[in-house]
Structure 1
């Protein structure tokens, strides 16, 4: 019984770590991709602190959406083993 509980807690920890790593990687990729977007067409001073903050927030939002999709996909692929 305690071994099953220990195994479950370990699996939850690994899933949490994978989620953190995937989220950070996706945010970094979104930041990198957003470097090609011309914010000067939307923002008056894209090099100012508000422009940089907007760039960061866009990267976090876009990266989180992509990470959420990837984490869901990993979870769903792990559930396939219970079909058979």
Structure 2
């Protein structure tokens, strides 16, 4: 059971790490030049939601890639 707890903790850390990276990257795009910003609160909420979505997708890809690489050992047995 301890292994499941460690895996869950690593998954959460990976999610938060990739969300922070995507938040940092999206802020560098300067989307306010492209979008017409009438309400700054809505713009900030959009940035947060985009970074959560992009961070979740990229961390899910990374976690599945690691899991598939780990499972390649079963192919050789």
Q: Is the TM value for this pair above 0.5?
A: yes
Provide structure 1 residue ranges, at least 5 long, that are not aligned to the other structure. 1-8
SS of 1:37's equivalent?
A: coil
Q: TM-score, normalised by structure 2?
A: 0.86
Query: Could you tell me which of 9, 27, 33 is aligned with 2:25?
Result: 33
Contact kept? 1:34, 1:59, Cα under 8 Å = yes
Query: Could you tell me which of 6, 13, 17 is aligned with 1:21?
Result: 13
Determine if the alignment matches structure 1 residue 52 to structure 2 residue 68: no
Deviating above 6 A after TM superposition, structure 1's stretches of 4 or more consecutive aligned residues are none
Q: TM-score, normalised by structure 1?
A: 0.80
Aligned residues: 75
SS of 1:11's equivalent?
A: helix
Q: Which stretch has the larger CA shift, 19-28 or 72-81?
A: 72-81
Structure of greater Rg: 1
Greater relative contact order, per chain length (Cα 8 Å cut-off, separation 6+):
2
Contact kept? 1:43, 1:51, Cα under 8 Å = no
- Alpha-carbon distance between aligned partners in 2 of 1:43 and 1:33, rounded to the nearest angstrom: 20
Provide structure 2 residue ranges, at least 5 long, that are not aligned to the other structure. none
